[in-house]
Each structure stands twice: as C-alpha cells, then as structure tokens.
Amino acid sequence: MLKGESVDLVVIGAGTVGAACAYYAARAGLSVAVVDRGPVAGGTSGSGEGNLLVSDKEPGPELELARMSLALWGELAHVLPKDVEFESKGGIVVAEDDEQLSLLREFAGAQGRAGVAVEEVGADGLREREPHLAPGLAGGFHYPEDAQVQPARAAARLLESAGRAGARIFLGEEVTAVTTTPDGRVSGVRTPRRRLLTGAVVNAAGTWADRVAELAGSYLPVQPRRGFVLVTEPLPPLIRHKVYAAGYVADVASGEAELQTSPVVEGTPAGPVLIGASRERVGFDRRLSAEAVHRLAAAATGLFPVLAQVRVLRVYCGFRPYLPDHLPAIGPDPYVSGLYHACGHEGAGIGLAPATGLVIARQVVGEEVGLDAGPFDPGRLVESAADALPR
C-alpha cells in the first residue's frame, strides 16, 4: 500500500513557477508538497536565459504582472543566495532603420504612459552604451528595469527556502493521478511512491500542464514552442545589457507555428554570451535545427560583429509553454474545485514566477491578490473548449 500523508497544497512542477508557488504558499502558513517527475528546473526553467523583462510587453495585464514580479524579484535578491546571479543590468532594444525606430517609439511611448521606465537612445548613444554594437543602427530604447537571473539556481534556491518554511519536496516522482471526490473536488495526488491527500493542487507543470489538467478531468490547451540558445566560450566583459532587435517584440506576440528568429544577445557573470531567440511549434521534437542555429549566429554577429571570431561551445533546446492568447493561466480551474493553474507563461515564466506564485498563494488562502487576475483566469480557455472535456 502506498504511503499517504495530508497537506494543504500540492504543487506539481519544480520549475521556477512551481518553486515560487511553493515559496509563497509555505510563507503563508500552508503545509506544502512539491512533486516533479524529474529534477529541479528539469523543463523550461533549465533551458531558458533567465530574463526578467518589461521591455517586450505591451501595456495590459501581462505588463502589470511583470512589473509586480520584477519588484518581487528585487526583494528576493536580498533573501536568496548570491549565486542566483540577479543582475539589474537593463535592456536595450535596437532599430535597424527609421521605420523600425518609429514603431519602437510608439511602443515605448505607450509603455512609458503605463509606468515603465524607458529612454530613447540615438545612434551615437547606442555605441556609448554598447561599444561593440554594429555601426549604422538607427537608434533604440533603454529599459533600466530589465534584469536577469540564473534560472535553474533561482528555482533551486526558491525551493530550498520553501523547504525551510516546511515544504516537502519529492523529485523523480511522476504524478499518475489527480483524484477527486464524487462531487468533483480535488482530494489528492498519487505517484508510484506515495499518496498525498489534499484539497488543493497547483498545476505548474509547464509544457506538460495539459496532461496534468487531463488527469484531473479538465482541459488546458498548452502547447510546446521550441527555442534554441547558443552559448559562447567564456569572454571578457563585452556586452553590458540585454540587447535585442526590434523584431523580437513582434515574435513574442506572434502565434506563427513556423520558425521565427530575432537576435537577442547578453553576457553572463560567468563569461559566456547567450544568443537567442528562436520560436517554432514542432511538438516535443528535440532534434537540432541547423537553420535555427545558422539564423541565430548570423543575426547575433550582425548586431555584434566582434562575435564573428568567437567559438560557440554548445547549443541547447527548450520548450516554452504556449497558450493561444499569449497570456498565462493563473487561478482556479472552472470545472474542478481545488485545482489551480500556474502555467502557459511561454518565454516569460522566469520573470513572471514570483507574482504568479504570490497570486496563487493568496487565492488558495482567500486573500486579495493585489492585481486584476481576471485576464489570467483559466476559464477563458477551457470554457471555449468544453467539447474536449472527458465528460
């Protein structure tokens, strides 16, 4: 017979979002268990760049969530160990020509009116801030609030802090069932090793969140969106900010399934430069895409010609949890009482994790969440797909 124990909340997923849910729930006084079939940050979190961005978000609910989350990351930077590598280095978005610059100016103006700190930088000013940028760029915009963390370490340290607050962590245990009562309320979670009795489950399973929803008898249309990142040899400090081209903003908001690439370049405290970003919907296909790698390398050297002489040591692949309207699902499931979703953040999960975790913890204990969570309501997705429910 499986070992059984009771907790207030089970979090499925030990990535950064799941870790943040466990951290804030444990701090709120709940008894918490975190379950993951793999290691900490074994999914999307372990294959991301650790971006904490406001620069790529248009005014609206995701930007408000990002601003709340960025403030929380600032607080966490004073609590978590230094090896999470929190850097408030800022971001620079560059335009190749006057047409792109005009579009960026309109976008940045709307962000500024929404409270984002942003400053236009002329062509000469770009080279002053980033001396190795290619000549001939039309200009750009500086976002001093953009930051970065080392995502796998951030997830691990959040979980460790949750553990010190009493959370139990069960790694290498796949959830095989989310049990419910006859009237449709969550009653527990099963793995091959144990039963966890609970009245509340958080689905923070990233790109596999649709499967967890199905286990509970609900539906969530999460899909994987593949991306590659190039990692160079360790270098002396070359790139001071997160630097990306104007096209990145459009790619983030796009729903295209075909391969899209736009240069995103940034240094790290350890020395290697990270080069992204690509997006395509090809299921869970992990095969290396030579076309994606070639495009990323060419675009990065176009922005920073100095990188043409630098070796790329490795390329890694990850899957972003994509939802059709590009907003995460954060909150209670409309069909299964006691089931909460914290997933679908696509490439913004690291940045949005603390606010997501705090919102979920407050919802579970019945407190005011601190922002309008309505746009993230999972019901917006499943109510239009009721035919998919196994009923």
What digits encode the pLDDT tens for the residues 335-375? 999 999 999 999 999 999 999 999 999 999 999 999 999 99
Residues 351, 70: contact at Cβ < 8 Å? yes
* Domains of the chain, start order: 3-50+151-222+326-388 (3.50.50.60), 91-144 (no CATH), 223-322 (3.30.9.10)
Q: Give the pLDDT of residue 253.
A: 62
**Tokens found for residue 73:** 């990351």
Residue 236, CA atoms < 13 Å, CB-side half-sphere: 2
User: pLDDT per residue over 82-98, tens digit each?
Assistant: 999 999 999 999 999 99
Q: Give the pLDDT of residue 388.
A: 46
The DSSP code sequence of 224-243 is EEEEEEEEEPP-SS---SEE
Q: Give the pLDDT of residue 47.
A: 87
**Tokens found for residue 283:** 């299921």
Amino acid identity for residue 162 in this structure: A
The percent of residues above 90 in pLDDT, for the chain, comes to 89
Interaxial angle between packed helices 151-164 and 16-27, expressed in degrees from 0 to 180 and rounded to the nearest 10 = 20
Q: What is the CA radius of gyration of the chain?
A: 21
**Tokens found for residue 152:** 């796998």
DSSP state of 383: G
Q: Smallest Cα–Cα separation from 358: which of 14, 26, 122, 10?
A: 26
CA dihedral of residues 207, 211, 212, 214 (deg, nearest 10): 140
Q: Give the pLDDT of residue 9.
A: 98
User: pLDDT per residue over 219-269, tens digit each?
Assistant: 999 999 999 999 999 999 999 999 999 887 766 666 677 899 889 999 998
Mean pLDDT, rounded, for 279-285:
93
Q: Give the pLDDT of residue 386.
A: 47
Write phi, then psi, for 387 (nearest 5 degrees).
-65, -25
pLDDT(42) > 70 = yes
pLDDT(78) > 90 = yes
